[in-house]
Chain A
């Protein structure tokens, strides 16, 4: 399955670092999503982009900053994270915003030290 790719697959960063997660979808979809998955909250929706416009921001701390330069690419910029931000970050895409099926990337396993 290579419809949605994510890089890097693993990331270890200190609390003062700045890093970015990248997601690319090759499915011609118009909506893209960032999710956080941890043991406490299995699938926590963070951001939704539709046609490159951010349409949902679910009370995510400002140390997470998304960017969607075009409908195929999605970034999550990370800055001064906390240890509790350690989790699997999943990107997904769907045909359009709404209740269409979502296609997930393999995720980035993030560890904040």
Chain B
């Protein structure tokens, strides 16, 4: 299946600081999805990116798909304590089942 690397594995920020997580693949992707899992919860779908260079925003979250469709980033502006959780990217190619990255755990201190 697909190989996907997600970095960093863990990040601890102060409330108000920005946060970015990156997802990288060695192969061209048909799409990439992002999920958030709160502590004690389950992964929840956030967004899907399909087009080369695509940028989508959800309030303070900005999602970007690389021009070569091999990488993506999730950027959170001015983090809040409600942003705490693990953020997973999931990559797709054709009819293959999604492959999830190992996730980036975000901790936000007030």
Task: Give the contact-size bracket for chain B.
Answer: 20 to 34
- Does the CB pair A104–B44 fall under 8 Å? yes
Which of B18-26, B59-67, B74-82, B87-95 lines the interface with chain A? Answer: B87-95
The yes or no answer to A103 lying at the interface (CB within 8 A) is yes
On chain A, the number of residues with a Cβ less than 8 Å from chain B's Cβ atoms is 19
Find out whether the CB atom of A104 lies under 8 angstroms from the CB atom of B92: no
List the interface of chain A (C-beta within 8 A of B). 1, 33, 42-43, 45, 48, 56, 90, 92, 97-99, 101-107
Additional pairs, 12, CB under 8 Å, beyond known A43-B100, A104-B42: A1-B44, A42-B102, A43-B102, A43-B103, A90-B43, A97-B95, A98-B94, A99-B30, A99-B94, A102-B43, A102-B90, A103-B45
Which residues of B are at the interface with A, using a C-beta cutoff of 8 A?
30-31, 33, 41-45, 48, 86, 88, 90-100, 102-103
